[in-house]
Homo-oligomer: A and B are copies of this chain.
């Protein structure tokens, strides 16, 4: 049974890391499809190759400075040297880097996408060369040849359905290792376009689904997804197994181990995702699996908090009797290009919760003014101090006590709760607190549910 294995940027940052990846691939003959990111940071202050490529794209249009170009060549060359590749073998990579500025583009967005995508493309070429050098039959797969077709949004493309038909028809030898670059695909107009962020995760899911492979190992730099953020909880319990939708709910409020959008092709292809650690490949990691047949082991699976929220509070008597009031409100948001997250409503009150990363002070002021003019609320209040705690678990479906326990814990600890939102998803409860209380809320809920559970 074949597996797709994807490696992130830190797993491919230099020759030593590359060696670990090669060992992982060689250690299990099922690992026949490899997806790579661009070389990432080797140390804290290092610059990712993707960022160097963005710099290269700018420099090549301006003063002719070659700082970025030189550094990019150095990064790939160092890996090549580590594995003692011949200069002749490495030459195509060198030539491609030097030739990047020669391409013509109508649209600067596609130019940027083209530069960025080469971080992955060159790394996939290099990985295939290294594996060949070490005696494994390996082949670089270009997304344009494989037919990985994406929408024509240069830097935030989404996969198009014909990709799966194309991948199903890909010809390959059963024994060879296929190396795909992550992060990008080809538009119907044959331009390179990248996914939004964490795009190599997405490529891995697409390739697994397209090739009909049911296990997708996603190698990162952590040994597991944890029940809570290790920056808040000291040595939190690891999650052995979770469902796709638990991952979705937790990633909403801060879990960032696996890309959100990458879940969708995996769900569609019923691909099990196994998050593993390049630096500790023997650890079982975390399995992300379909809901069907999943047996939750604990009342909750994870708890997380996120601070990037703000809220608009409106009060007007008989608010709920006005048909079309929310419609007017949403039309205002739409005009400003603002999307809302949640909208808890009372009888005469309405709170609208936003992701505040989409605002600046001017927009907030304009928005509040327009809402005041159109809806004439008795009270209008902008609340900047808003955190959301997510308590998530398939176990909540069966044991409805978990939600009420989580809420009780906060009340017992004296943490004021601004908002409780439960009801759309039956596997999560959303609790609003002030930012100052958010970490403590996570700690208290974690200890309530996991105090007797073995720590990592």
Binding site for B on A (CB under 8 A): 245, 248-249, 252, 260-261, 263-264, 267, 313, 317-318, 320, 323-324, 326-327, 330-331, 333-334, 337, 339-351, 400-401, 403-405, 407-408, 410-412, 416-426, 428-430, 432
Query: In the complex the two chains form, what is the Cα distance from A417 to B400 in whole Å?
Result: 7
- From residue A92, how far is it (CB to closest CB) to chain B in Å? 38
The residue from B249, B345, B412, B429 contacting A420, defined by CB atoms under 8 A apart: B429
Q: Say whether, besides A344-B422, A422-B344, A417 and B403 are in contact (CB < 8 Å).
A: yes
Q: What are 15 A-B pairs with beta-carbon distances under 8 A? A: A252-B347, A324-B330, A324-B339, A342-B344, A342-B345, A343-B345, A347-B425, A349-B424, A403-B411, A404-B404, A404-B417, A405-B411, A418-B426, A420-B422, A420-B423
Query: In the complex the two chains form, what is the Cα distance from A331 to B267 in whole Å?
Result: 31
Pairwise interchain contact A408-B404, C-beta atoms closer than 8 A: yes
The residue from B320, B341, B412 contacting A320, defined by CB atoms under 8 A apart: B341
Contacts of A410 in B (CB 8 A): 404
Q: Say whether, besides A261-B318, A337-B323, A249 and B422 are in contact (CB < 8 Å).
A: no
Interface SS of chain A: mixed
- From residue A195, how far is it (CB to closest CB) to chain B in Å? 13
Pairwise interchain contact A423-B419, C-beta atoms closer than 8 A: yes
The residue from B320, B412, B423, B429 contacting A351, defined by CB atoms under 8 A apart: B423
Q: Say whether, besides A323-B337, A343-B343, A421 and B424 are in contact (CB < 8 Å).
A: no
